[in-house]
Amino acid sequence: MDEPAAAGDIMGLYLRPGHLALAGARRVPEDRRLRHGALVAEFPKTAGYVTGPWSSYVPFTRTLSEPSGATTSSSGNHVLLSWNWKLGVKDFRVQISQRPDFATTIEDVTTDNTSYAPVLTHPFYVMGGSFYWRVAGRDKGFNLGDWTQAQRIDISQRLRVAVNRAVRRRRWTRVRVTVSDPALKRIAGASVRVSGAGLRPRSAKTNGSGQVSFRLRPRKRGRLLFSASKPGFASGTLSMRVR
C-alpha cells in the first residue's frame, strides 16, 4: 500500500489497480490524519430526500369499527339510546326493529349526536313489547362502518283514556272515565287524575270494569287533563277543551 498521506487538501485518492478509487474528499482536519494505514475522509452533506422505487399496488378494505358504550336508559314514558363518540366518524345511523336480525325496521335515522330518543307515541310503540336497536358510524364519504350488537328495549303498553261527555264552564257535569290497554281491554285499579281549567285536582281508581266517575264544575274556559297510571304500563293522558 502507498505511504500514508499527510493531512491537507485531497482532490482524489487512487489506489493500486484492483482497488477502489475515492474522489471528491474534502480537507481532513489535523486530528483525523491517517493512522496505521487507515484513511478517514468526510464527504459533503447534501439536503433533501431520495425516494426509492414504489411497491406494486396492494388492495385493502378501510372499515370503521362499531361505536362503543351502547346503552339503553328508560324512565317513565321516555327511552334514551346512547353510545360513545368515535374518531373519524361524521355522523351515526340508528336502526330500531321488532326483530333482533333487523330483517325489517320501524325506524332508520341518521344523527350527528351520540344519542337518540325514539318518540314512543308512534303507533309502532303503542302496543309495547320488546324492540331492538343498533348503531353504526359513517365517515365523510358516507361509508357505513360496523354495527353494534343488537341492544334490547322493553317498552310498556300505554294506557288509553276515554271520557263519555264534554264539560262546560260553571256547570256541574258527571263524567265517566274509562281506562284500557292498546287492545281496548279495560284496566281495573288504574289511578286516574283530573286537573286544569280552574279545577281543584281530583284522583280516584278505576273499578273492576276499568271505569271511574267524577262530578266536575270548571270555573273558567281552558282545558282539562285526564291522566291514568298503573305499574307495568306507560301512563296515558287525555286533554279536553272546556267551553
pLDDT at 61: 64
Domains 71-155 and 160-242 share a fold: yes
Here the cell at position 72 is 339503553
Assign domain 160-242 to its CATH architecture: Sandwich (2.60)
pTM: 0.59
User: What are the boundaries of each domain within the chain?
Assistant: 1-47, 71-155, 160-242
Tell me the per-residue pLDDT of 181-219, one tens digit each, with 9 for 90 and over.
988 999 999 999 999 988 999 999 999 999 999 999 999
Mean pLDDT of the chain: 83
* Across 62-83, average pLDDT: 88
Tell me the per-residue pLDDT of 155-183, one tens digit each, with 9 for 90 and over.
888 899 999 999 999 999 999 999 999 88
Topology of domain 71-155 in CATH is: Immunoglobulin-like (2.60.40)
- Distance, CA of 123 to CA of 103 (rounded, Å): 19
* Residue 150 confidence (pLDDT) above 90: yes
